[in-house]
Structure 1
Amino acid sequence: MSTAKAERLLIADDDPDLVNAYVLFFEAYGYDIRTAIDGPGALAIYCVWRPDVVMLDIQMPTMDGHAVAKEIRRMGALPRPLLLAVTALHGPYERIQSFRAGFDHHFVKPAQLPSILAAISDHPSI
């Protein structure tokens, strides 16, 4: 039942139950997935693996999702990865901060996974 256009998806969240749920959902659509439980882990995987899509929680230990997104954008990798914030932070200021950090989308938990899938599928470079 794969409809995925992107082959590689990196998911970083410090909640292992959420990570497992995300993995189950996106694997059903054919994504090759790697996971991290914090910002430094996500950045390390990104640097080695170069995924098409990076889905990051904002409030993670050690290095938050904004810092990871900024670092990925600073690297200037081409093709440019799609960056998705999936966070409990829901106010207008938090959305603005996500876009300033380099995210393409800001989803609020509990995120609707079909909406995230649609955002990935609609992205022109994937």
Structure 2
Amino acid sequence: MSFAKAGRLLIADDDPNLLAAYVLFFEANGYAIQTAVDGVGALAAYYAWRPDVVILDIQMPGVDGHAVAKEIRRMSFAPRPFLLAVTALHAPAEKAESFKAGFDHHFVKPARLPVILAAIASRPTI
């Protein structure tokens, strides 16, 4: 697989085992990774690091993933980061809420990491 589009990836999830699996997988695929375990940490990491791609769980303590996505989109930084929700929320209304919040994709757990990687790799270039 080509790593031409690999870059900086921020992953926020309150499940430490899942977060560790994400890190192993995406580092093996050429990404530089930072992590957060909640929405506040995700926003702080985003402000400081400005990653190319952000993967967010929705149901995190404190600030949820939808609020994080809305804040990232409100900042209007260029280039625009690619936002992916990876969540247990699966109802059509919940998916619609993710897109309304500014996500580019909504994946339902347990999401297959190669499918997420393919979505990231196919993102438009800026």
TM value normalised by structure 2: 0.97
How far off is 1:2 after superposition? 5.9
- Which whole-Å CA distance do the structure 2 matches of 1:11 and 1:123 have between them? 17
Instruction: Report what 2:102 is aligned to.
Output: 102
Gaps in structure 2 of 5+ consecutive residues:
none
Deviation of the 1:4 alpha carbon: 5.2
Deviation for aligned residue 1:124? 1.1
Partner of 1:59: 59
User: Which residue number in structure 1 is paired with residue 81 of structure 2?
Assistant: 81
Q: Tell me the amino acid that sits aligned with residue 17 of structure 1.
A: N
Find runs of 4+ consecutive structure 1 residues off by over 3 angstroms.
none
For 1:89, what is the secondary structure of its paired residue? coil
Q: Structure 1 unaligned runs (5+)?
A: none
Cα distance in 2 for residues equivalent to 1:39 and 1:70: 11
Residue 48 of structure 1 corresponds to 48
CA-to-partner distance for each residue in 1:44-83, whole Å, 9 max, x for gaps? Answer: 0000100000000000000000000000000001000000
**1:26 corresponds to:** 26
| Alignment coverage as a number of residue pairs | 126
Q: CA RMSD in A?
A: 1.2
